[in-house]
Homo-oligomer: A and B are copies of this chain.
Amino acid sequence: MLPSSFACAEASIAGGADPFVRVLVYLVVILVAAKLGAELFERIGQPAVLGELVAGVILGNLVLVHGSWSFFQPLRAAVLTDHAAIGIDILAKIGIIILLFEVGLESSVKEMRRVGISSFLVAVIGVVLPFILGYFVSAIFITKVPAGILALSPNFSIQNIHMFIGATLCATSVGITARVFKDMARIQTPEARIVLGAAVIDDVLGLIILAIVSAVVSSAETGNELSVLQIVKLTVIAVGFLLGALIIGIYFIPNLMKVAAKFRTQGLMLITSILICFGLSALANEAGLASIVGAFAAGLILEEIHFREFDAKVGIRDLIQPISIVFVPIFFVLMGIQVHLESFFVPSVIGISGGLIVAAMIGKQACGLVVREKNIDRITVGIGMIPRGEVGLIFASIGKALGVIDNDIFSAVVIMVIVTAFVTPPLLKWSIARAERKREPEA
C-alpha cells in the first residue's frame, strides 16, 4: 500500500489493486457469462443452470488456452486468500442461501408432512447405499495408503480412507435439482416435494455421518478414545435442530411479524424475512448442519400467511426475487470456475472418479423404489437425488483438512461432484417429460 513512485501512487488511486474494484469486475464478467450461458442452454432446450455451470467451466479454464488468461485463478485456489476472491465466495454463498430460502418459501410444512415418510425413507436409502458403495469403490481402487496422505499414526488404517470416501457420497445437493424443478415450473409436483424433503433429511443424515467419520479419523490419528456420548450428542443436536426450528418458528414467527408490522421504517417485511433466513442459516451451522438447511427451514416456516399483518402490495417472494436474480447465478458460475479440467488427464484420477460416479448414481437410484405413494415417478425421484454439488465439495475439503484425503482423491471427488451436477439437469428434464407423457393418456 506504500507507493514509492508516482506510477505506484497513480495505481493505488486508480485502484488497480483495490479488491473491491476487482469484485465489481468479477461480478460483471460472471453475470454476463451466466446470462449468455443460461440463454444459450435455454434455446437448445437445456436448463439455464447448466448453462451457468458451463459458462463458469469455460471462464475458469481459459488459463489452459493461454497462460496469461489467469484472471480467475484467485477464485480457484484450494484455500482462498485473495480478498476479491473471498468477497466473490461470500456473495456466492449468500446466493445459495437465498436460493434455498426461495425453495423453502415455495414449500409448506403441510405438504412436507404429506410426503414426510416417503422423504425419510428416500433419504435413509440415499445415505446408506452410497456410503456402502463408496466404501467398496475405495477398497477396490485404493489398496494401500497413498503416499500423499501424511501425518499418520500407528492407529490410522486404510479403512479410515474408505469410510471418508463413502461419507462424501452421502449428502444430496438440493441446489441443482431445486433449480431444475424451478426452471421447469415443476417445484409443486409430488416428485419435487419428495426429493427436496429427502435432500434436507439426507443433509442432516449425511452431516451426522460426516461428523462421526471425522471423529473416528481424528481419534485414530491422535490415538484418543472416541466417546460414545460425543457421537450421541452430535446426533441429537443435528436432528433436534430442524424439528426445533419448525416448531418454534410456527409459534414464534407470527408474533415477531406483529411487532415488525408496527415499525414505521421501510422494507420491514423484507428485512425481517432476510433476518430469519440468515439467522436460521447461522444457527443451523452452530448445530453442526450445513447453513443451507437453515435457509430452507426459514423459507418453510415463512409461509405467506405470516405477512397478512403487513399492508403489502407485493408478496415476500416478489421481494426476494431481485436479490435471487443477481446473487444465485454467482454460485453456479463459481462452481464451474473451480473445475480444473486438467485433472481429467491424470489416469489414476479417472479410475477412482469413474468408480465414484457409478457408485454415486446407482446408490441413489434405489431411492425411488422405497417411495410409498402411487402415481409418483420413481425414476425422477432417483435422478433428482443424484447431484452432490456443494455439499460433496465441502465434505471433500474437510477430508483434505483432516489429512485423510490427498490431492488425487480430492480431484476424483470433485470430478464426481461435477459429473453428477452435469448429468442431473438433462436426465431430470428427460425423466420429467417422459413421466408426464406417460401420465397424460391416463388422465
Contacts and interface: CB of A to CB of B under 8 A. Distances in A.
Contacts of A207: 13
Given A13-B210, A398-B12, A401-B2, A35 B234 contact: no
A322 B320 CA distance: 7
Contacts of A266: 325
Which range contains the number of A residues in contact with the other chain? 35 or more
**What are the 6 closest A-B residue pairs judged by CB atoms, nearest first?**
A267-B325, A87-B90, A1-B401, A15-B285, A24-B282, A9-B218
Interface in A319-352: 319-323, 325-326
A6 B86 contact: no
Contact of A43 (B28, B97, B264, B403): B264
A263 B10 contact: no
A79 interface: yes
A286 interface: yes
A37 to B, nearest CB: 10
Nearest to A274: B326
A20 interface: yes
A286 B215 CA distance: 50
A222 interface: yes
A325 B275 contact: no
A15 to B, nearest CB: 4
Contacts of A21: 281-282, 285-286, 291
A63 interface: no
Interface string A55-97: 0000000000000000000000001000100110111010001
Nearest to A328: B267
Contacts of A211: 9-10, 13
B288 A3 contact: no
